[in-house]
Structure 1
């Protein structure tokens, strides 16, 4: 048995030998070119087809595929986990992510108006109430994004469930956030306020909030949230992930589902009026991505007008920073069906003269 003194001697000897065996320090490796400072990042985009079928279809019902891309960046490892997107006052794309990142870019369309890429990429941290970048998953897990008519941004977070307003400044930048009204309910840790959209028809400070299980609330900066008819998913494997209001009272609702047999699936529903009671809830259209269609973990939706005047839908996927998933941005153009022809006039009965 080795005594305490022997153990100390062996320990000291090992430390000395370890120091002797260490290789000399290597010189620092410097970049071969100047490294830019700031939020700007390079973007790499790869086109994706609507389907793996050969040839792929050009539409799903009245939803015409308007191009899609897989997004990555050679400049950063943080361009992952994007959870929602909207379009800012200048028409630029704005997205938020699970780790408290804010991603901005501009769409690149070809001569036919189809999505072919992104330009002017920027990635910056969301700020906290103290004006400093958010730290840690508990505080930084951003899920929903809305842009109010005056340009202010709303961001919903899960885990630490809250909604913050980032005020738009006169110079186009955004100031320190403040907390605003959120639904007075208890959310699961990782299933919070996924869906968020401004809802101007109910007031300039109105916004809709949706929980992953389909719960819906109408909130205002100036008034508490009130519950609306739930937007029930197709079945228990689906969850509500995003809202986008359009054409006054209507709302596009995005759902996603996953199971190990079928993988990820996505569905967009056009709800005529989310404020209507359950018996009067009607869908104008439904887009489902399943089977051979290109699909992933779709979590964000934004609407605009296509060059032809159709309603342009953009859906964004969250790759969860996983090698088996991708950050996809896919576009579809939808036109409403023509109204039915007017009913023929009822034949008039001849008047009998007496």
Structure 2
């Protein structure tokens, strides 16, 4: 979700952004109850190219952005429901099962469809069900249902963060694989601006099996534990004040990935992913291992969800999920990029041996 003045920016810039695409804005479609009984929904996925420019810019002609190779993408919709919108975060299991949460308090589940080369070509086995409260009933109303962050804990439990009515809930995984009613989990002891709450959430097992990271839209970052409370870390600051922090994902030990997005009337939506070596380091010592920026001629939208997996070839795969804000001129996109670390620098040559001068007698 877009907070504060960014909400006004969407309304004020929609026409300007669309004028570049030759489309006219249409009224937002209000969410209604699914037209199909049961959680299963059919999915329609349309391929999304890295760029629609013809010919593609030289920098994108090879199908990559720097060391990030495009591994396919799709636009996702369903004829069975008007609620498949507003997806705000996702996580992906090693077996290709995905789970995402939405601004309207829904849980979306599906399975990745990859081609023989391992590229993303679709989604199957779609399910859409309501997130439930402690009373076992579906969440009602935007203020209570606006889910923004999702974390999968090492023991299988799920954490979900909400903005507007700011809170984090833990959904315990039961023996049969289902999830029980939620209970409150520790959250940062702060007051968030209206609609600019806890957007980013990820398990952080390097700090303990019950540890997780929480990020506010303005870049504030906390390390929390289920057994204790939350402590502030150095902010994961966006590129500048026009950007917001929308997602975390942990990988390779203490490293994490952060997702930032921005909107302006000239360039439209933009996104940037950063690989942060150690989020617990002081701000002056923060190191990025790599960064991916979606801008210019690259296909893009309002990216809010981030997940990481490992490919069979050993690359780190980045999945990005766009929140369409329930707007007909935005799309629910799922895009994939594969990053391979550069080879290590060759060792420095040994220093030449010192030549001893002969002693004078």
Same-fold call, TM cutoff 0.5: yes
Contact 1:233 1:255 in 2 (8 A): yes
Q: Find the aligned partners of 1:114 and 1:91 in 2 and give their Cα distance.
A: 12
- Does structure 2 conserve the Cα–Cα contact (< 8 Å) formed by 1:89 and 1:151? no
Residues 117-136 of structure 1 correspond to what in structure 2 (within 5 A)?
A: 117-136=122-141
Please list, as runs of the form range in 1=range in 2, the aligned pairs for 1:5-154 lying within 5 A after superposition: 37-56=37-56, 57=60, 58-88=63-93, 90-154=95-159
> Residues 251-292 of structure 1: CA distance to partner in whole angstroms, max 9, x if unpaired?
100000011221110000000000001121010111000111
User: Secondary structure of 1:223's partner?
Assistant: coil
Task: Tell me the SS of whatever aligns to 1:201.
Answer: helix
User: Is 1:221 paired with 2:226?
Assistant: yes
Give the CA deviation at 1:89.
6.8
Structure 2 residue runs of 5 or longer lacking an equivalent are 1-34
Establish whether residue 174 from structure 1 lines up as the match of residue 179 from structure 2.
yes
- The equivalent of 1:335 in structure 2 is 340
Map 1:276-315; keep pairs closer than 5 Å: 276-315=281-320
Larger RCO (CA under 8 A, 6+ residues apart): 2
Query: What do residues 65-117 of structure 1 show as CA deviations (whole Å, max 9, x unaligned)?
Result: 00000000011000000000002475410000000000000000000000000
Shift of 1:307: 2.7
Report what 1:14 is aligned to: none
Secondary structure at the residue paired with 1:84?
strand
Residue 36 of structure 1: how far off its partner (Å): 6.4
Cα offsets for 1:41-81 (capped at 9, x unmatched): 00000000111222443000000000000000011000000
Structure 1 residue 186 and structure 2 residue 210: aligned? Answer: no
Q: Secondary structure at the match of 2:155?
A: coil
Q: Give the 3-state SS of the residue equivalent to 2:143 in structure 1.
A: helix
The secondary structure found in structure 2 opposite 1:171 is coil
Does structure 2 conserve the Cα–Cα contact (< 8 Å) formed by 1:244 and 1:253? Answer: yes
Give the TM-score, by structure 1 length: 0.88
TM-score, with normalisation over the residues of structure 2?
A: 0.87
Instruction: Report the CA distance between 1:236 and its aligned residue.
Output: 1.1
Compare CA radii of gyration and give the structure with the larger one: 1
1:322 to 319, 327, 340: 327
Shift of 1:129: 1.0
* Distance in 2 (alpha carbons) for counterparts of 1:126 and 1:164: 11
Computed over aligned residues only, the root mean square deviation of the Cα atoms, in angstroms, reads 1.2
Give the direction of change, closer, same or farther, for the CA distance of 1:36–1:191 in structure 2 (3 Å limit).
closer
Q: Mind listing any 5+ residue stretches in structure 1 that lack a counterpart?
A: 1-34
Counterpart residue number, 1:158: 163
